[in-house]
A and B are shown apart, each in its own frame.
Chain A
């Protein structure tokens, strides 16, 4: 397995390899959850992934499939809900979806805002038996 991971990392040398580490973390959590809930099989895993995380879903699923091949997790599906970036205007407090970083507050035109969501990277549900 170690070698397989090595070749996977090298063929992905385009600055988008955190998907592999993220997939490894998901695998660890799933093994724990299978023990806790006495599951023998996992059908699907629901994830919430903030857009700011720059996670490529295809690359994440690919890594996950490679890591789980031949294990009890083989065949488990990742179902990803992408969470948009939201911000809060630092002048008037209005919350809004950030479609373009250069936009000002849609209510008061204030130029400064704080990000309130879009950095999520959570497992929210597991389906299995």
Chain B
């Protein structure tokens, strides 16, 4: 017997993601899902961001790592409320893990919540966690071939931060190529070049975040 069924495979996760999103909206918390490959500089970006904005915004961070609490400790020391999720092998965070993590945060005390997803360019994009926007971080040493290799993450992100711009003289990375190819995949993508080390471009990122948080 052949039974026609039309069901999204990830429907259960999408439902939880949608519930999280409604909760964030009720509580007026602006939520970013920060995605990148390993080593692109997510944690350093968060440290800089918390340092710069902690007097204007109450910032919470959910830290997704396969193991260890190293990153969470670094960010907490800068003055954010941090919840660590250790996925114990899983390559991404999903709606359910975020639902559990926000149970440990008092959302009424937060304006902005940044979720640092597991470093991986494929899996985290598949699972809605209820964020307002995905922000992708790509670092110059990773190479400029990423849009065509991993199109979905470029397609789903609202903002691309190109990090470690200070290393541009030492590696082969064509910024114009990245801009062109990622805009082909996602014409709505905004792109900001930064260096968490020198601080170049970070003010544009802070401006973007403040502007979106106000509207969200």
A125→B7 contact, CB < 8 A: no
B184→A123 contact, CB < 8 A: no
Minimum distance in angstroms from A124 CB to a CB of chain B: 6
Minimum distance in angstroms from A64 CB to a CB of chain B: 11
Which single residue of chain B is at the shortest CB-CB distance from A128? B1
In the complex, B81 has a CB within 8 A of chain A: no
A123→B7 contact, CB < 8 A: yes
Chain A residues, CB < 8 A from B12: 25, 28
A121→B9 contact, CB < 8 A: yes
Report the separation of the CA atoms of residues A11 and B155 in the bound assembly, to the nearest whole angstrom.
29
In the complex, A66 has a CB within 8 A of chain B: no
Q: Within the complex, which residue of A54, A115, A126, A127 is in contact with B122, where a contact is CB–CB below 8 Å?
A: A54
Residues of A1-43 at the interface with B, using a CB-CB cut-off of 8 Å, are 5-6, 9-10, 13, 15-18, 21-22, 25-26, 28-29, 33, 37, 39
A101→B120 contact, CB < 8 A: no
Chain A residues, CB < 8 A from B89: 5-6, 9-10
Chain A residues, CB < 8 A from B184: 101-102, 111-113
The segment out of B28-36, B106-114, B146-154, B168-176 that lies at the interface is: B146-154
A101→B148 contact, CB < 8 A: yes
B13→A25 contact, CB < 8 A: yes
A122→B1 contact, CB < 8 A: no
In the complex, B90 has a CB within 8 A of chain A: yes
Contact with A along B91-106 (1 / 0, CB 8 A): 1101000000000000
A122→B6 contact, CB < 8 A: yes
Provided the pairs A15-B122, A101-B151 are in contact, do residues A124 and B91 lie with their beta carbons within 8 angstroms?
A: no
Report the separation of the CA atoms of residues A74 and B2 in the bound assembly, to the nearest whole angstrom.
18
Minimum distance in angstroms from A7 CB to a CB of chain B: 9
Which single residue of chain B is at the shortest CB-CB distance from A85? B151
Chain A residues, CB < 8 A from B180: 102
Provided the pairs A29-B9, A127-B2 are in contact, do residues A52 and B151 lie with their beta carbons within 8 angstroms?
A: yes
Report the separation of the CA atoms of residues A95 and B121 in the bound assembly, to the nearest whole angstrom.
28
In the complex, B126 has a CB within 8 A of chain A: yes
Chain B residues, CB < 8 A from A121: 8-10, 126
A122→B3 contact, CB < 8 A: no
B5→A125 contact, CB < 8 A: yes
Report the separation of the CA atoms of residues A69 and B187 in the bound assembly, to the nearest whole angstrom.
44
- Which of A15, A119, A128 has the largest number of chain B CB atoms within 10 A? A15
Report the separation of the CA atoms of residues A124 and B90 in the bound assembly, to the nearest whole angstrom.
27
A101→B6 contact, CB < 8 A: no
Which single residue of chain A is at the shortest CB-CB distance from B89? A9
In the complex, B185 has a CB within 8 A of chain A: yes
Minimum distance in angstroms from B119 CB to a CB of chain A: 9
B127→A21 contact, CB < 8 A: yes
In the complex, A81 has a CB within 8 A of chain B: no
Which single residue of chain B is at the shortest CB-CB distance from A122? B8
- Which of A25, A26, A129 has the largest number of chain B CB atoms within 10 A? A25
Q: Within the complex, which residue of B1, B10, B181, B187 is in contact with A129, where a contact is CB–CB below 8 Å?
A: B1
In the complex, A92 has a CB within 8 A of chain B: no
Q: Within the complex, which residue of B90, B152, B187 is in contact with A9, where a contact is CB–CB below 8 Å?
A: B90
Report the separation of the CA atoms of residues A125 and B4 in the bound assembly, to the nearest whole angstrom.
4
Which single residue of chain A is at the shortest CB-CB distance from B123? A18
